[in-house]
A and B are shown apart, each in its own frame.
Chain A
Amino acid sequence: MLADRNLDPELRPLAVSDIASTESSLSTLATTITQSLVTPHPFAHLSALVEIRPGAGGSEASLFAGDLLKLYTTYCDDVRNWPLSMVSLTASTEGGDGVQEAIFEVEAPGAYEIFRGEAGVHRVQRVPATEKQGRTHTSTVNVVVLPSFPEVELGEGEEDPDCIIDMKDVRVDVMRARGAGGQHVNTTDSAVRMTHIPTGIVAAIQDSRSQHKNRAKALMVLKSRIAEKRRAEREAEELALRRSVTKVNAGRSDKMRTYNYIQNRVTDHRCGFSLHDLPSFMNGETLDSMIDQVRKWQMERDVENLDTR
């Protein structure tokens, strides 16, 4: 219409304003359609189990793992007001606030849906405090996000949910000190390691002085990991039917987000979204806007997958 030379000049501004309002309602509609097309993630309503481990980059990576842990804990505390319980925290041997492994549970319905987009490789570029020549280092931290399952008893005739495992398949080991044991020593060894033999999945917990509690936690972590693996396998099978799996999975093993301290910027490579105030991001203040963008991207990707069915 606008391209029509014969158009009455008086109508032109009207048409232009119409375009703007139509466009905005279109985009709302698109989002609504996207949302209604994409079935919610089967575990969306669950609590989340988040695991943080340093990847490449030595002690700098474990320091950044500590920073990410702080980011998520303050986000849960200050922004969401979600209860967060530490399942296991192992300090790095390097000193400082470095973390070798942190596992925590966010005990709120829907936390999994919010956190699942945080899973992947987080890359950091900055000058480490210990670096004397002012050189920038690049290191990575891996974040795993699993759904956390409530204790369920299987009713008669019920389908096996993903998290049900046969305890006969689980090997439970406890850590022990060297030496004679018994009355000779009073060490606090209470660590527990569980192995799911059919899948080879392992969960090791040493956080509590109570072996009994460590067992319960290890079982929880084990179940979540197994469920996630089963779900991922099923999803991969479904996807393989629709399109080449490789294309969709690309990006998973790749870095998904970069924290560039020199440029004071954090960029999510999946959705191409950037924020330019790192300190407030690392305080958890602006994490929400990042998560929103990532969820939008996730939904669009899911719709794309629908197309090719």
Chain B
Amino acid sequence: MPRITWQLIRTARRKHPLLPLLLPECRTVEQAFMELRWLMREQRGGGGRGGLKALCQKRGRGWPIQYLLGTQPFGPLEILCERGVLIPRPETEQYTSHLAGHILKHLHPRTQLRIVDLCTGTGCIPLLLHRELSTAGMASRVLGVDISAKAVRLGRRNLEHNKQELSPSVGEDVQFLLGDVLDVECLVKAIERRFQDGGGVVDVVISNPPYISKEGFNKSTGRSVRNYEPRLALVPEGGDGDVFYPAIARAAEKLGAQAVVAEVEGWEQAERVKREWEGSGVWEGVDIWKDFAGIERTVVGWRCAGWEWIRDGPDVVSYRDWEE
């Protein structure tokens, strides 16, 4: 990463007087210019130049641009973002689309799929899954669960916000529920109650739980993440990054799920979670998906041989810089 020199600041100022304000967070003039254009293009409620300047100042201090603009694209959806709820990540976007495509390829189109997303945050995963499946003609019901009332409210608002892009049945098919994933008994009961009307089983449990350890939070998160995103969404209480995974697998088992899919931090945690799930003896097989950057990002388990196809992850397809 280039150092911010006087030279760089002068160059930025010559291009646009507000550009230097963005440099502390954006680092390069190109990135700053791009973000300035996004800020100008998308800022809500006008506010004129003064409004824009205030936005640039905040961005320079590390405010995530998604909180400033109030949105983050997620597949074809526009997910509302606000402080207190984690911003959806591109890795999550990738494996969620991949899972939807994979399901469409391997399951009968008349399947009525039931999916539970634990630790749902903005609700980005349930909404994108439902969108991708219904566009291809597959019916699904998806339930998002979160311990944060703010997240549950935002999930519902996101459903409304994306109504245009979603199928008409989404209002009935996608629901959000307040609940504690670590209290498995209670969680399973609440979910069963929601799904009662049709046999009471769930096909897939997916989750992107808080997975960063206390040490990792201080050492390896970005400044903007550390200072502006909710710690509740990132670090499990007690500071052990692995605590959610046994609970997720147990909930999946009790709900009768055919497959369980969970995001992880990288290869070390992926290996630990894989070992733990294999050791439980519940799953026929457990495997790891890499993300676009080649990092072990998702652990998947399947219950019977008929679901073994789920072991294949998305393609590793990335490059570092334009110059490369």
Give residues in A with beta carbon < 8 Å to B.
89-91, 93-98, 171-176, 178-191, 193, 204, 206-213
Cα A172 to Cα B222 in complex, Å, equals: 27
Alpha-carbon gap, A213 to B42, bound state (A):
15
Q: How far is the CA of A97 from the CA of B14 in the complex (A)?
A: 8
B31 to chain A, nearest CB (A): 8
Q: How far in angstroms is the closest Cβ of chain A from B103?
A: 19
A130 and B322 alpha carbons, distance in the complex (Å): 28
A268 to chain B, nearest CB (A): 31
Q: Are B266 and A190 in contact (CB under 8 A)?
A: no
Residue B34 is within 8 A (CB to CB) of chain A in the complex: yes
**Does B87 make an interface contact (CB < 8 A)?**
yes
Residues of A within 8 A of B208 (CB): 183
Interface residues on B, range: 35 or more
* B73: contacting residue among A93, A97, A212, CB under 8 A: A212
Whether B287 is near chain A, meaning CB under 8 Å from some CB there, is no
* Contact string against A for B residues 288-314, beta-carbon threshold 8 Å, 1 for contact and 0 otherwise: 000111010100000000000000000
Contact A96 B90 (CB under 8 A): no
* B318 adjacent to A178 (CB under 8 Å): no
Contact (Cβ within 8 A) A181 B319: no
Q: Is the CB of B34 within 8 A of A206?
A: yes
Judge whether B221 is part of the interface by a CB distance below 8 angstroms: yes
The reply to whether A93 and B211 form a contact with Cβ atoms under 8 Å apart is no
A186–B225 touching, CB < 8 Å? yes
State which residues 192-212 of B face A: CB under 8 Å.
208, 210-212
Nearest B residue (CB) for A179: B220
**In the bound complex, do residue B73 and residue A171 qualify as a contact, i.e. CB atoms below 8 Å apart?**
no
Q: Are B212 and A189 in contact (CB under 8 A)?
A: no
A176 touches B11 (CB 8 A): no
Determine if A175 and B221 form an interchain contact, defined as CB atoms under 8 angstroms apart: no
Q: Which residues of A contact B87 (CB under 8 A)?
A: 186
Q: Which residue of A lies closest to B94 (CB)?
A: A174
Cα-based distance from A190 to B89 in the complex (angstroms): 11
**Assembly CA distance A3 to B106 (angstroms):** 90
Q: Are A184 and B11 in contact (CB under 8 A)?
A: no
Q: Contact at A173–B75, with CB atoms within 8 Å?
A: no
State the Cβ distance, A37 to closest chain B Cβ, in Å: 46
Measured CB to CB, the nearest residue on chain A to B212 is A183
- For residue B91, CB closer than 8 A to chain A, the reply is yes
Q: A95-B10, A182-B291 are in contact. List 8 more A-B contacts (CB 8 A).
A: A95-B12, A176-B318, A181-B293, A183-B208, A184-B212, A184-B265, A185-B225, A188-B38
C-alpha spacing A190/B91, complex, angstroms:
11
B253: A residues at CB distance < 8 A: none
Contact B221 A185 (CB under 8 A): yes
**Stretch of B64-72, B110-118, B175-183 lying at the A interface:** B64-72
- B29 / chain A contacts, CB cutoff of 8 Å: 91, 93, 95
A67 to B86, alpha carbons, bound, how many Å?
A: 42
Q: In chain A, what residue has the closest Cβ to B28?
A: A93
Q: Determine the distance from Cα of A269 to Cα of B99 in the docked complex, in whole angstroms.
A: 57
In the bound complex, residues from chain B placing their C-beta under 8 Å from that of A186 are 64, 66, 87, 89, 222, 224-225, 229
How far, in whole Å, are A95 and B20 apart by their CA atoms in the complex?
Answer: 11
- Known contacts: A97-B15, A193-B319. The answer to whether A182 contacts B263 by CB under 8 A is yes
| Smallest beta-carbon distance A191→chain B, Å | 8
Report the bound CA distance from A212 to B91 in whole Å.
13
- Check: B33 CB closer than 8 A to any chain A CB: yes
Q: Is the CB of B317 within 8 A of A209?
A: no
B137 within 8 A of A: no
Q: Is B320 an interface residue (CB 8 A)?
A: yes
The reply on B76 being an interface residue by CB < 8 A is: yes
Question: Closest 5 A-B residue pairs measured CB to CB?
Answer: A210-B73, A95-B14, A95-B11, A91-B33, A185-B222
Q: Which residues of B contact A173 (CB under 8 A)?
A: 317-319
Could you give, for residues 64-106 of chain B, a 1 whenever the CB lies within 8 Å of some chain A CB and a 0 otherwise?
Answer: 1110000011011010000000110111010000000000000
Say yes or no: B76 contacts A180, CB within 8 Å.
no
Is B234 located at the chain interface by the 8 A CB criterion?
Answer: yes
Expressed in whole angstroms, the minimum distance between the Cβ of A44 and any Cβ of chain B is 33
CB nearest neighbor in B for A193: B319
Q: Considering the chains assembled together, what is the distance between the CA atoms of A25 and B237 in angstroms?
A: 90
Q: Name the residue on B nearest A192 (C-beta).
A: B317
Q: How far is the CA of A95 from the CA of B10 in the complex (A)?
A: 8
Cα–Cα, bound, A95→B33 (Å): 10
In the complex, what residue of chain B is closest to A182 when comparing beta carbons?
Answer: B91
Residue of A89, A184, A186, A193 ringed by the most chain B CB atoms within 10 A: A186
**B189 interface residue (CB < 8 Å to A):** no
Q: Of B10, B86, B90, B222, which one neighbours A190 at CB under 8 angstroms? A: B90
User: B271 an interface residue at 8 Å Cβ cutoff?
Assistant: no
Judge whether B93 and A211 touch: CB under 8 Å: yes
Q: Are B318 and A95 in contact, CB atoms less than 8 angstroms apart?
A: no
A182 B297 Cβ-Cβ under 8 A:
yes
Across the interface, which residues of A come within 8 angstroms of B220, CB to CB?
A: 179-180, 184
User: Quick check: B30 and A90 within 8 Å, CB to CB?
Assistant: yes
Question: A181 to B221, Cβ gap below 8 A?
Answer: no
Question: Chain B contacts of A95 at CB under 8 A?
Answer: 10-15, 29
B266 A180 Cβ-Cβ under 8 A: yes
CB pair A93–B30 under 8 Å, yes or no, is yes
A233 to chain B, nearest CB (A): 28
A89–B87 Cα gap in the complex (Å)?
A: 26
Which among A178, A190, A204 is the interface contact of B322 at CB below 8 angstroms? A204
Chain A residue nearest to B25 in the complex (CB): A187
Q: Which residues of the partner chain A approach B263 to less than 8 Å between Cβ atoms?
A: 182
With the chains together, A90 CA to B34 CA distance in Å? 8
Q: Is the CB of B319 within 8 A of A188?
A: no
Query: B210-221 toward A: CB 8 Å interface, digit per residue (1/0)?
Result: 111000100011
Q: How far is the CB of B186 from chain A (nearest CB, A)?
A: 26
